[in-house]
A and B are shown apart, each in its own frame.
Chain A
């Protein structure tokens, strides 16, 4: 898990849109992603530029590619985002006040300190999903 690669990959609006588009329909070809960016976002980027963006997302682990017959399809991998949340982001995001904190999750980690409690474990998956929207 390389946080630098992940944050660098997400530091560009086109690449974040690609994540959005793959979240909407997974497994797209370069052609479909290109048409989507042009149609929905008025992007004027070349296929070569798009290819480079996808490569950065792939290097960050956010996109994996799969050959289906003779075409290359792109799939979103959310694992690096979850890991980034567990490793760093979540710690600094504070409590989600709408969500009751499980007492055990806090006490297990010892006495409360000024530091926001770290949240991970099963219950956390839903929080993360909502928070990242």
Chain B
């Protein structure tokens, strides 16, 4: 068994695709029409065969309250690894990204949390 896919529940796939590619820098992998939605995945630019990120519609009635409750408490739905949290923080702020938590070093990691504009908070983490 291998982990090949992880997902974020997004309120709008097109908007999410823009944010996750143009701003975060991931690249498209799969884009398959599925009824009113798409099977839409992205990969890291430097790891095209790595774990795919599925931009999954949050159409299920339970999804929105679940997401809102996490955002309310500042809890990220997923975490991405970066080499330099401070540099990413600066870069993303330059793109107008809203952070609920600036880079804070906690033991062996520095983490920051931002709003993905699709109803989620996302953590970026740097291991020291």
A interface residues, Cβ below 8 angstroms from B? 25, 28-32, 35-36, 39-40, 47, 68-73
Contacts and interface: CB of A to CB of B under 8 A. Distances in A.
A39 B106 contact: yes
Contacts of A39: 106-107
Most chain A C-beta atoms within 10 Å of own C-beta, residue among B71, B73, B121? B73
11 contacts: A28-B74, A28-B101, A29-B73, A29-B100, A32-B104, A32-B113, A39-B106, A40-B106, A47-B73, A69-B115, A71-B100
A36 B74 CA distance: 13
A40 B104 CA distance: 13
Interface of B: 68, 71-76, 98, 100-101, 104, 106-107, 111, 113, 115, 121
A27 B106 CA distance: 17
Given A30-B75, A32-B113, A72-B74, 6 more contacts: A25-B104, A31-B76, A39-B106, A40-B106, A70-B72, A71-B100
A31 B113 contact: yes
B68 A70 contact: yes
Contacts of B100: 29, 68-69, 71, 73
Contacts of B121: 71
A24 to B, nearest CB: 10
Contacts of A29: 73-75, 100-101, 113
Nearest to B98: A69
Contact of A71 (B72, B104, B106, B111): B72
A25 B74 CA distance: 15
Contacts of B72: 70-72
A25 B111 CA distance: 14
Given A69-B98, A69-B115, A36 B71 contact: no
A107 B73 CA distance: 52
Contacts of B104: 25, 32, 36
